[in-house]
Amino acid sequence: MIDITGLTFAYTDQPPVFQDFTWHAVTGEAWAVIGPSGCGKSTLLYLIAGLRQPSAGRLLVDGQPVPRPRASSGLILQDYGLLPWATVWENVALVMRMGRFYRGKASSGEGPRPYPRLDIVPEQVNAWLTRLGIAALRDKYPSQISGGQRQRTAIARSLLQQPNLLLMDEPFSSLDALTREDLQRLTLELREETDVTIVVVTHNIEEAVYLGQRILILGRVPNTRTSVIENPAAGDPDYRGHPAYWQRCTELRAALTAG
């Protein structure tokens, strides 16, 4: 699903964040990406999403270069990315409007190709609102609902795209502990239902171990090598209660400290 080989990236007038960096993620895997502040976790996600472009090397998603954001990648941000003037329903249904916009651009010769999602209908919006437990909030605005409800709205919007890759940038960091754990469990359920490939950027060791079947550790810039911890038991909703979970947390903490 993700094929990164010899990638180099630097912000203008800054030292490289990645230099000759290689990493691969297989379709259907759940990855967590962790490391110290400023190590390039979010930058890596934005490169995969097509929001940033490498200066050298190869980056393929599902076998194709990513010169721009792709319709089959869902991106969920820490600040939710919701339109404050739109209701919950309108924020989720934004995907339908984007589809019409890009199809119009393509038909007029302005766009590179038709937007591939042609069959999203209002009933699907309603179905995801119900699945994520926010149907009763459909006419509320983001300022009128809680942080957890706003994040559920963002997740519903991303899943409406029927993505094969879901990118999450510290999506639960601003939530209280119980809400965070509830949405982590929901993420596992949705992955089981949709078989989507997930990459979660986090600074939280316990979250990385709970969600990531494989954990990519980034270090001080420039990142030049790949350090991965295997965590195959992730995905079990009861994993937190197993001794192996806490052992893996200890292993990850030691790896981060050593790095």
The domain segmentation of the chain, as residue ranges, is 1-20+28-72+165-259, 83-162
Nearest alpha-carbon partner for 61 in 9, 24, 21, 100? 24
Distance of CA 56 to the CA centre of its chain: 24
Any idea which architecture 1-20+28-72+165-259 has in CATH?
3-Layer(aba) Sandwich (3.40)
Q: How many CB atoms lie within 10 A of CB 121?
A: 10
158 DSSP assignment: H
> Is-contact 75 31, C-beta < 8 A?
no
Predicted confidence at residue 213, as pLDDT, reads: 95
Which residue has better confidence, 75 or 120?
75
- Residue 79: which residues within 8 A CB-CB, separation 6 or more? none
- Confidence band for 192, pLDDT divided at 50, 70 and 90: confident
For 81-104, what is each residue's pLDDT tens digit?
889 999 999 999 887 665 544 444
Element (H, E) at 174: none
Distance CA 189, CA 192 (A): 5
